[in-house]
A and B are shown apart, each in its own frame.
Chain A
Amino acid sequence: MSDRPLPMAEAAAVPWTRAFYWSLRRELWEHRALYLAPLAVAAFAMLIHLLATFTTAGVRSASLADPARSRGFMMHYDAVTGLIVISALLVGVLYAVGALYGERRDRSVLFWKSLPVSDTTTVLSKAAVPMLVLPVVIFGLAVAATIVMAALQSFVWSLQGFDPRTLWGRLDLPFLWLSLLYGLPFMVLWYAPIYAWLLLVSAWAPRWPFMWAAAPFLAAFIVQHTILHHTVGHWALERRLGGGVIQPFSAGGEGKVWIERLSDLEPLRLYTLPGLWVGVALAAAFLAAAIHMRRTRGPI
């Protein structure tokens, strides 16, 4: 039966890249909501867009006449993209909270650990879901959704007797896509400590991982407000939560004006923010701790 010599010197092993690839696929098999939920949100938003396109012919003529308002045509496209981004980020949060908890609760961790996949590979593949897969999902969905929206809108315009080429002149989809390519890597790094923290709690929590993940922040919040009477921590948390979107997509990262053109992009400012790299270091520490937890914690 054995067609390899026994005893063997050193066993051939699957390269870790292959184990990583299959571990990642495994996550997508289990958690189809990772792409279905943003897809559903995008579909719903596009439906609203279609209805709005039908009913705003009057507004349209006024906007076309006034070049200052031409940016208004991008509003729907920005909004749908924003909804895709936010829904994907939230799905990522739900995923990360359960990723290492669920396998312990249903005892399937004993099956996964019976295979030649190291804890490091497993944890990194789970971290790659919100940090690599979701940005790709966001970008792919956003590009597809905005193209479909433009096609739908052109169709409605021609039905109503407007020249769709006027629309194309006002839509700057390539800039939208480019700004995503510019902002998504930042977003990944900026939110990495949050996802890594959730994975760590997920690997450790005896029960209720969501509660344990939020508990330290809630406790700090209460202590601040009732005893210390200041809001530094609160402000820091807000900055972290909002920063992933505000820093890349608003002018100067001030959260007042959204970026609109190529000259608004400031990669140098963005990628030299100290907060970004402090967060990345924290994320690495959390992931290392999560790997340790995956190794030592058994099923619950």
Chain B
Amino acid sequence: MTCLEARGLRKAYGPKVALDGIDLRLEEGRILGLIGPNGAGKSTALQAITGLIPYDGALKVLGRDPWKDRGALMNDVCFIADVAVLPRWMRVRQAIDFMAGVHPWFDRERAEAFLARTNIATTDKVRQLSKGMVTQLHLALVMAVDARLLVLDEPTLGLDLLYRKQFYKALLNDYFDGNRTIVVSTHDVSEVEHILTDVVFVNRGRVVFESSMEDVEARFAEVVVPPEQMSAARALQPIQERQAFGRNILLFDNRDRARLSALGEVRNASLAEVFVALLSRDAAPSRRTAA
């Protein structure tokens, strides 16, 4: 079943175009990474999906129009906007009570069980918690909701490495069950690449690239090319060349693996490298004038 479908999604703030016609389609049970540099339009896209802002174009989330129907949509969608948006005056107990009061799918015991594994006490006020603990609390609240779609907008921004790892580990182990759908935005590819099933690169309000992760693995390959093979390798038109430890590493898109292995050691490209290669092409000077 389709969880999310956008066609020609556009949003402008005055003369500044944040989303310049985005097409997206996501089935239920997937984990989509929305990846792009700062200011690419990721947050705007997620705000449109969660009914926080009006937009132009067609958008359906779980069959609903998010702008017209935010209240009802939020029965089935959870959203972590950013770190530290939990109200600072609130006690943990109050947050749990409130969620249990207004959310049809909130399971108090689940939230309490998750919190029991942290250093957070139910009598604590949010203002007393560290940034990392606030994120843990928010995640505990969200994980206790049996939602069909979870939207995360840079959920680990400002957290140290340890908390980031814990966050994604908890998300994958305790939350994701194959029925739910997760959309996560980040500007840091490496922290999410291992949990995604699908990926979309956005830049300057447009989709630059979209693919399932299996296809990314099938399409892109890195080859460590010895100097004597460089001209043969370049003939195959790598999309990126870089040097690491005095070796040439070339990134190829959609080239026959057998021909590549003749050039040198072939390995899977990291999503981060694919991202850098595709985004730097997108930022080529000839295109930049259009923006």
Whole-angstrom CA separation of A296 from B70 in the bound complex: 12
Task: Please report which residues of chain B, range 67-109, place their CB below 8 angstroms from some CB of chain A when the two chains form the complex.
Answer: 70-82, 84-91, 94, 97-99, 101-105
| CB atoms of A298 and B87 under 8 A apart | no
Contact with B along A1-26 (1 / 0, CB 8 A): 11110110001111000110111011
- Of all chain A residues, the one with the shortest Cβ separation from B99 is A115
Identify which of B48-56, B218-226, B234-242 touches chain A: B48-56
| CB atoms of A111 and B87 under 8 A apart | yes
Residue in A22, A110, A113 whose beta carbon sits within 8 Å of that of B98 in the complex: A22
Give the most central of A2, A19, A29, A114: most B CB within 10 Å: A114
Whole-angstrom CA separation of A233 from B85 in the bound complex: 42
The range of chain A's interface size is 35 or more
Query: A115 with B179: in contact, given A1-B146, A4-B146 (CB under 8 Å)?
Result: no
Query: A107 with B71: in contact, given A18-B102, A19-B102, A114-B50 (CB under 8 Å)?
Result: no
The range of chain B's interface size is 35 or more
| CB atoms of A114 and B81 under 8 A apart | yes
Residue in B28, B80, B102 whose beta carbon sits within 8 Å of that of A116 in the complex: B102
B177 at the interface (CB under 8 A from A): yes
B1 at the interface (CB under 8 A from A): yes
Q: Can you list 21 residue pairs at the A/B interface with Cβ under 8 Å?
A: A1-B146, A4-B105, A6-B28, A11-B76, A14-B103, A25-B101, A29-B89, A29-B91, A30-B87, A106-B85, A108-B86, A114-B50, A114-B78, A114-B79, A115-B74, A115-B98, A115-B103, A116-B71, A116-B74, A117-B74, A298-B52
Chain B neighbourhood of A19, CB < 8 A: 101-102
Residue in A2, A12, A110 whose beta carbon sits within 8 Å of that of B85 in the complex: A110
Whole-angstrom CA separation of A11 from B103 in the bound complex: 11
Whole-angstrom CA separation of A85 from B89 in the bound complex: 27
B148 at the interface (CB under 8 A from A): yes
| CB atoms of A117 and B85 under 8 A apart | no
- Of all chain A residues, the one with the shortest Cβ separation from B74 is A116
Least distance between A32 CB and chain B CB atoms (Å): 9
| CB atoms of B81 and A11 under 8 A apart | no
| CB atoms of B50 and A18 under 8 A apart | no
Chain B neighbourhood of A295, CB < 8 A: 70
Least distance between B34 CB and chain A CB atoms (Å): 17
Binding site for B on A (CB under 8 A): 1-4, 6-7, 11-14, 18-19, 21-23, 25-26, 29-30, 103, 106-111, 113-119, 121, 295-296, 298
Chain A neighbourhood of B51, CB < 8 A: 113
Binding site for A on B (CB under 8 A): 1, 28, 47, 50-54, 70-82, 84-91, 94, 97-99, 101-105, 138, 146, 148, 177, 179-180
Residue in B1, B81, B177 whose beta carbon sits within 8 Å of that of A7 in the complex: B1
Residue in A4, A29, A296 whose beta carbon sits within 8 Å of that of B90 in the complex: A29
4 additional A-B pairs beyond A2-B180, A18-B102, A116-B75, beta carbons within 8 Å, are A1-B179, A13-B104, A14-B104, A110-B82
| CB atoms of A26 and B52 under 8 A apart | no
Whole-angstrom CA separation of A57 from B50 in the bound complex: 69
Give the most central of B47, B102, B177: most A CB within 10 Å: B102
Query: A111 with B86: in contact, given A2-B146, A13-B104 (CB under 8 Å)?
Result: yes
| CB atoms of B102 and A103 under 8 A apart | no
Chain A neighbourhood of B53, CB < 8 A: 296, 298
| CB atoms of B104 and A108 under 8 A apart | no
- Of all chain A residues, the one with the shortest Cβ separation from B177 is A1
| CB atoms of A296 and B54 under 8 A apart | yes
Residue in B54, B71, B78, B94 whose beta carbon sits within 8 Å of that of A117 in the complex: B71
The list of the 10 closest CB pairs from A to B, nearest first, reads: A118-B71, A22-B101, A110-B81, A114-B79, A116-B74, A108-B87, A1-B177, A116-B75, A110-B85, A11-B75
